[in-house]
Structure 1
Amino acid sequence: MPRFDAEAILERTKVLSADEFEGRAPGTQGEERTVKYLEEEFRKLGLQPGNTDGTYIQQVPLIGITATNTQPLTVKGGSKTQTFKWSDEVVAWTKHVADTASIKDSELIFAGYGVTAPEFNWDDFKDVDVKGKTLIVLVNDPQVPDPSDPSKLDPQLFNGNAMTYYGRWTYKFEEGARRGAAGILLVHETGPAGYPFSVVQGNLREKFDLVTPDKNMGRSAIEGWVTLDAARRMLQMGGQDFDALKKQALTREFRPVPLNLAASIAIRNTMRTLESRNVLAKVEGADPALRDEYVVYTAHWDHLGVGAPVNGDSIYNGALDNASGVATLLEIARAFTQVEPKPKRSILFLMVTAEEQGLLGSQHYAVSPVYPLTRTLANINVDGVNQWGRTKDITVIGMGASDLDDYLREAAAAQGRTLRPDPEAEKGFYYRSDHFNFAKQGVPALYTDTGEEFIGKPAEYSRQKRDEYTNNDYHSPSDQVKPDWDLSGAVEDAQLLFVVGYNVANAERFPEWKPGNEFRATREAMLKK
């Protein structure tokens, strides 16, 4: 196996997260510098251009929308009126490609978790028509207690502790739009959301979307979040108690609760269209009969750019998220240029844009692939690396999904390591990075995270470091390379992902989703065509 260099990963991470890169936001000078740097690195490493047009670029058409509040969220009921503070209590936007968006005297309805899941015999909406109304919705899946042990979640409903797609905030907005809701307001709770309200406030910066034929007019006019305290006050205005309603929402019998309140809010958009870029390069396979088939590695190059100052710093450098992942993929790419024998199939390295805006770069590739997904064996995604030292294990997000786990288990065993399921499955990480767009299209996808058992550290060390990062550095200007970073564990993880990709590229058959997986039918249908 080629040698992996922790120092090279660290130095590239430092470059990409330097202030000169201005937080790597799409459509900025930060993007220009990032794309130029990646093209230069791919050339230095000797990788071929990844696009069939002979370039390292796939254009990604985006619309950038910056919302400003022209009328605050105002809720009226009877003789009572309350106004909620923009940014402090409510964060809202519109995906409509239009100058303005608003709701006026829209009836407020508490819609529980806003979920319709036939496979779990669950429908929060029942026969209630919510067209033109504004929904107040809880985040995450219904947290239904296990009848045999109320201290745990029912494993038969919504995968127990592990978040399903129904728990993701993106799903809530999609389902509300399908039902014609004028507005959807999610109630922010740090535990179920997996991040503090300060992360939600990041949505007040410019938001991007892919350019769609209907200019996103099929979406609800207003999408947003309110703080828990704001939600409590709204419900109280409607004569309801938040805790009591939340408890009701944990049953199949729940029905939407009209609050006899009317909500109004107005937003003005500043818009721009831009071509952002995915950057891609390849190592061509050695077997002429198989080189038109691909293993695709992904990492997102973008971060949040320049934003609201925190402790005087306004550059959101994104060192861990995800300069470190890009740097690691470049090191894996270098290894593929040196390994002997060369892989039979081709290896594509895809650095995608606009992950932080909703996985848009990978979505664009997945629906408009340069190489057909029918000839794409697998996706291996890197989003953040282990900066805290070596571990005895490696975490698999969505463990048990596909044959890729078996490849990883074999590679880990050679290092004397084991696989571990996601210790924070409730946060829905499987739906929060770029591999998910490949999975949705049917391509088996592997996404790993830092292990839990740190060598020479106490048992609580992993949880302590995760919480430290989530609370202090996630989506904050303080996500910078720290003096105590130890990438020895990141190197071992990179070696594992290299071995998995290499072995898949040389395998006799395509990896498959495990029986019962939600994406298996999509893949089987794709490969039959």
Structure 2
Amino acid sequence: MKPFLSLVAVLALGAAAASSAQPLPKGTALKPPADAGAQPDVPVELMKQITKRLAADDFEGRAPSTPVEPKVLDYIVAQFKAAGLQPGNKGEWLQPVPTVEITGDKYTPLTVTGAGKALSFKPATDYVAASYRVTPKTQVKDSELVFVGYGINAPELGWNDYAGIDMKGKTAVILVNDPDYADEGEQGLFKGRRMTYYGRWTYKFEEAARQGATAALIVHDTFPAAYGWNVVNSSWTGAQYYVQSPNDGMDQTVANGWVQKPVAEAILKAAGKDLAALTKAAQTKGFKAVPLGLKVGFGFDNAIRRSTSNNVVGVLPGKTRPDEVVLYSAHWDHLGHCTADKTGDDICNGAVDNADGVAAMTAIAKMNAEAGAAERSQVFVALTLEESGLLGSEYYAANPIYPLDHTVGGVNMDALLPAGRAKSYTQTGGDKSELGDFYRKALTARGLTDVPEDHPERGGYYRSDHFSLAKRGVPMFNIERSNDLVEGGTAAGEKIAQAYTDDHYHAPSDQYSDAWDWSGITQDVELLYDLGRELADGSMWPNWRQGDEFRAIRDKACTAATKGCNTK
């Protein structure tokens, strides 16, 4: 899971094409959930049972592609069956997810030539790098360096940092985050302090590849990155995991990496440039990429291991429009054996992260089965390899069992924090799609309020499984239970959340306890059931807001679709 404190619950909503997008009609409202009998009871005991079992020591922390995986999958399938689901992958319960693990070794220094004395920078200390290509050796040699600002190509905003330059054979030097990250509000072209997808490092590497670059190097800066070099170092100096592609990643750059800010400053100084001055220039629309007149070289070996894990897929077929789908998801995997604690316990059980998410999803499946078939089909997916970089959801989104242009929306559950009921919720990522209207009406119906997201500059919206669908155009928004609890207020909620982060997150102590307070998780399930069921019984196809970075992708897909989100 992404390292945030409380519930990560996601609603993904389908959209109409630009020519047929249908805004929510005025007065659209959810069915009042407070009516007696309007919603089946939340099966709290079932959630306790599933969480306790998935977090048991004999499941060894649920590491994917290990000998324990079949036992974990058998248990989840049994629970899906008991909840009333049918096999969701053409009569099968499993969707195999082929992955490749690449571990770099024998890194050479990163050398820069072309301005007198060559510069040399140490691996791990000064730079980190990896390759998306499945090849035993990676070598970048005499590649021309080009400063490309923030490395953004956003046609809908009239912004292209690569305009007028051919990047073939060249290495892009890229700034982290997006151009107006330093603004206090959210009024800038790139939403000011709130990070957009264009600010994420994953986007920058993907765009560099689309531009034909040989390599891409992001300049690390702690404030706009929202984490220190230690996080970059630890994340990029071990095994890297990717979904296997038919061409073994050969359409990607030869190498991607990061350099420390002082390293970038030294390189630009050697080119007769100033990083601060170029950074300021890059924040202005119309910025042009700057060739540095220098060449870079570095390399490393790759140890390669291929493996296969599995998503678990169940379905409740729809009554009248079974080809239209509402998607529910939660990742089943965790870290397996990890660094031992003082007692010698080295099993990261992952009770909160994310055994209780799978339990909540199964509870929602059971509630929907008890309520009877909805108009649309409801698909429930227990995803693998979230902890390895959202790979289970990435594979599903790239190889959808149910077409994305027929996917109306869904709910993702990741790390539901055991705590009391909250007074409010927040939208991670902001009000990105028209489904925000449904969210606010659902809160009002339950006497809850909407509050602003904490730390929008961290880009939390782009760090959980729903994002794999969003970047392919399926409108999604992310809601979190706030720390403002009914009993104890914000002080109590923040104490519980901080204790989880400090003492239990990705640690052997993330274990199930009979003493857990399930009332907050129950509140989450009640709200998510309402929202998902409304989509499943409705006929709406909400879209992204105008100007959102994912709107054009969805519009294009829906224009080409047969029915589904192209329904007028």
Q: Which TM-score band (shorter chain)?
A: 0.7 to 0.9
Contact kept? 2:167, 2:211, Cα under 8 Å: yes
1:59 corresponds to: 96
Given the two structures, how large is their TM-score scaled by the length of structure 2? 0.80
Structure 1 window deviating more from structure 2 (233-242 vs 176-185): it is 233-242
2:109 corresponds to: 72
State yes or no: 1:284 paired with 2:317.
yes
How far is the alpha carbon of 1:240 from its aligned partner? Answer: 4.8
Aligned-partner SS, 1:265? strand
Q: Which amino acid aligns with 1:414?
A: A
Aligned-partner SS, 1:348? strand
Q: Which amino acid aligns with 1:177?
A: A
2:279 corresponds to: 246
- Give runs of aligned pairs for residues 57-206 of structure 1, distance below 5 A: 57-76=94-113, 78-86=116-124, 88-143=125-180, 152-153=184-185, 155-200=187-232, 201-206=234-239
* Aligned mates of 2:442, 2:487 — CA distance in 1: 23
Structure 1 window deviating more from structure 2 (433-442 vs 98-107): it is 433-442
Q: Which amino acid aligns with 1:112?
A: G
Return closer, same or farther for 1:481/1:416 CA change in 2, 3 Å cut-off.
farther
How far is the alpha carbon of 1:246 from its aligned partner? Answer: 2.8
Return closer, same or farther for 1:514/1:128 CA change in 2, 3 Å cut-off.
closer
1:439 corresponds to: 470
Q: Deviations over 1:353-400 (max 9, x none)?
A: 233444332233234332334443222222222334321111223443
Which of 442, 448, 464 is equivalent to 1:417? Answer: 448
- Give runs of aligned pairs for residues 104-503 of structure 1, distance below 5 A: 104-143=141-180, 152-153=184-185, 155-200=187-232, 201-236=234-269, 238=271, 240-285=273-318, 287=319, 289-306=320-337, 317-339=349-371, 341-457=372-488, 459=490, 476-477=506-507, 480-481=510-511, 486-503=517-534
Q: Deviations over 1:452-510 (max 9, x none)?
A: 53334455776777677667766x43672487864422220111111111222222x13
Aligned-partner SS, 2:280? helix
Contact kept? 1:385, 1:449, Cα under 8 Å: no
* Aligned mates of 1:109, 1:254 — CA distance in 2: 13
Aligned-partner SS, 2:109? strand
Contact kept? 2:328, 2:381, Cα under 8 Å: yes
Q: Deviations over 1:426-451 (max 9, x none)?
A: 22233332223333444443432222
Aligned-partner SS, 1:343? coil
1:34 corresponds to: 72
Aligned-partner SS, 1:513? coil
Q: Which amino acid aligns with 2:196?
A: T
* Aligned mates of 1:303, 1:283 — CA distance in 2: 27
* Aligned mates of 1:279, 1:50 — CA distance in 2: 8
* Aligned mates of 1:252, 1:102 — CA distance in 2: 34
Contact kept? 1:49, 1:281, Cα under 8 Å: yes
Q: Which amino acid aligns with 1:211?
A: Q
Q: Which amino acid aligns with 1:64?
A: E
Return closer, same or farther for 1:233/1:387 CA change in 2, 3 Å cut-off.
farther
Structure 1 window deviating more from structure 2 (345-354 vs 397-406): it is 397-406
Return closer, same or farther for 1:118/1:153 CA change in 2, 3 Å cut-off.
farther
* Aligned mates of 1:395, 1:186 — CA distance in 2: 31
Contact kept? 1:58, 1:277, Cα under 8 Å: yes
Contact kept? 1:321, 1:479, Cα under 8 Å: no
2:9 corresponds to: none
Q: Which amino acid aligns with 1:132?
A: G
How far is the alpha carbon of 1:220 from its aligned partner? Answer: 0.9
Which of 510, 513, 527 is equivalent to 2:543? Answer: 513
Aligned-partner SS, 1:382? strand
Contact kept? 1:128, 1:256, Cα under 8 Å: yes
* Aligned mates of 1:314, 1:245 — CA distance in 2: 47
2:13 corresponds to: none
Given the two structures, how large is their TM-score scaled by the length of structure 1? 0.85
Contact kept? 1:108, 1:261, Cα under 8 Å: yes
How far is the alpha carbon of 1:95 from its aligned partner? Answer: 0.9
How far is the alpha carbon of 1:155 from its aligned partner? Answer: 1.4
Structure 1 window deviating more from structure 2 (162-171 vs 61-70): it is 61-70
Aligned-partner SS, 1:322? helix
Contact kept? 2:419, 2:516, Cα under 8 Å: yes
Contact kept? 1:74, 1:84, Cα under 8 Å: no
How far is the alpha carbon of 1:94 from its aligned partner? Answer: 0.5
State yes or no: 1:3 paired with 2:63.
no
Q: Deviations over 1:303-349 (max 9, x none)?
A: 4445677988765554444333222212222322333x543333211
Return closer, same or farther for 1:101/1:14 CA change in 2, 3 Å cut-off.
farther
Contact kept? 2:64, 2:385, Cα under 8 Å: yes
How far is the alpha carbon of 1:411 from its aligned partner? Answer: 3.0
Contact kept? 1:4, 1:335, Cα under 8 Å: yes
Contact kept? 1:305, 1:315, Cα under 8 Å: yes
How far is the alpha carbon of 1:421 from its aligned partner? Answer: 4.5
How far is the alpha carbon of 1:109 from its aligned partner? Answer: 3.3
Contact kept? 1:96, 1:215, Cα under 8 Å: yes
Contact kept? 1:115, 1:166, Cα under 8 Å: yes
Aligned-partner SS, 1:449? strand
Return closer, same or farther for 1:412/1:479 CA change in 2, 3 Å cut-off.
farther
* Aligned mates of 1:72, 1:204 — CA distance in 2: 14
Q: Which amino acid aligns with 1:281?
A: G
Q: Which amino acid aligns with 2:311?
A: N
* Aligned mates of 1:504, 1:127 — CA distance in 2: 45
Structure 2 unpaired stretches of 5+: 1-38
Return closer, same or farther for 1:344/1:316 CA change in 2, 3 Å cut-off.
same
Return closer, same or farther for 1:406/1:144 CA change in 2, 3 Å cut-off.
closer
* Aligned mates of 1:234, 1:36 — CA distance in 2: 54
Q: Which amino acid aligns with 1:395?
A: T
Contact kept? 1:394, 1:449, Cα under 8 Å: yes
Contact kept? 1:400, 1:514, Cα under 8 Å: no
Contact kept? 2:422, 2:484, Cα under 8 Å: yes
